[in-house]
Amino acid sequence: MIDKNSPIHIVGAGLAGSECAWQLAELGHRVRLYEMRGGTMTPAHRSDKFAELVCSNSFGSETDYSAPGQLKWEAEKLGSLIYQAALHARVPAGMALGVDRELFADFITQKIKNHPRIEVVNKVVQSLDDVPRPTVIATGPLTHEPLAESLRQHFDGEFLYFFDAIAPVIDADSIDQFTAFKADRFGKGNKDYYNCGMNREQYYRFIDEIQRARKIEPKEFEKDTPYFEGCMPIEAMIERGPETPRFGPMSPKGLSNPWSGKSYYAVVQLRQENKEGTAYNMVGFQTKLAYPEQQRIFRMIPGLERAEFLKLGSIHRNLYIQSPKRLTPYLQSPKDEWLFFAGQITGVEGYFDSTCIGLLVARFLNDKMTSGEISRPPRDSAFGSLLNGITEDNGHFQPTNINFGLFPNIEGFKIRNGDDKRRKKEMQLQRAKSALMDWLSASVHTHSTERIYNISSENSQELCP
- What is the DSSP track for 335-347? TEEEEEE-GGGGT
pLDDT of residue 197: 97
The whole-angstrom separation of Cα 370 and Cα 373 is 8
Considering only CA atoms, give the Rg of the chain: 22
Nearest alpha carbon to residue 105 among 52, 44, 56, 57: 52
Nearest alpha carbon to residue 30 among 104, 97, 119: 119
Helices (H), 251-381: 291-298, 323-326, 351-370
The whole-angstrom separation of Cα 432 and Cα 384 is 9
The whole-angstrom separation of Cα 455 and Cα 111 is 24
Q: Block means of pLDDT (10 residues each) for the chain, length 465 residues?
A: 87 96 97 79 63 85 93 98 97 92 95 97 93 94 83 80 75 92 87 94 97 78 56 88 95 93 96 82 90 95 93 77 92 96 90 96 96 94 95 76 86 78 91 96 61 37 31
SS3 435: helix
The whole-angstrom separation of Cα 331 and Cα 381 is 18
Q: How far apart, in Å, do the first and last CA atoms of the chain sit? A: 49
Q: Write the CA distances from 343 to 139, 170, 458, integer angstroms.
A: 8, 29, 32
The whole-angstrom separation of Cα 256 and Cα 283 is 17
pLDDT of residue 459: 38
Interacting residues of 316 by C-beta distance below 8 A, sequence separation 6+:
43, 44, 142, 163, 164, 165, 166
The whole-angstrom separation of Cα 104 and Cα 90 is 8
SS3 350: coil
Q: Which domains does the chain have, with CATH numbers?
A: 8-159+321-463 (3.50.50.60), 165-317 (2.40.30.260)
Interacting residues of 313 by C-beta distance below 8 A, sequence separation 6+:
165, 166, 167, 168, 233, 282, 285, 286, 287, 288, 289, 294
- Cα 210 versus chain centre, distance: 27
pLDDT of residue 248: 92
pLDDT of residue 163: 64
Nearest alpha carbon to residue 205 among 301, 270, 285, 303: 301
The dihedral formed by the CA atoms of 20, 23, 26 and 28, expressed in degrees to the nearest 10: -70
Q: What is the pTM of this model?
A: 0.74
pLDDT of residue 230: 62
Q: Provide the residue count of the chain.
A: 465
Q: Write the CA distances from 278 to 59, 91, 170, 274, 447, integer angstroms.
A: 20, 11, 9, 7, 47
The whole-angstrom separation of Cα 387 and Cα 189 is 31
- From start to end of 147-265, where are the E strands? 160-166, 169-171, 181-182, 194-198
The whole-angstrom separation of Cα 142 and Cα 163 is 11
The whole-angstrom separation of Cα 66 and Cα 60 is 10
pLDDT of residue 458: 34
Are 128 and 150 in contact by the 8 Å Cβ rule? The answer is: yes
pLDDT of residue 188: 81
pLDDT of residue 38: 58
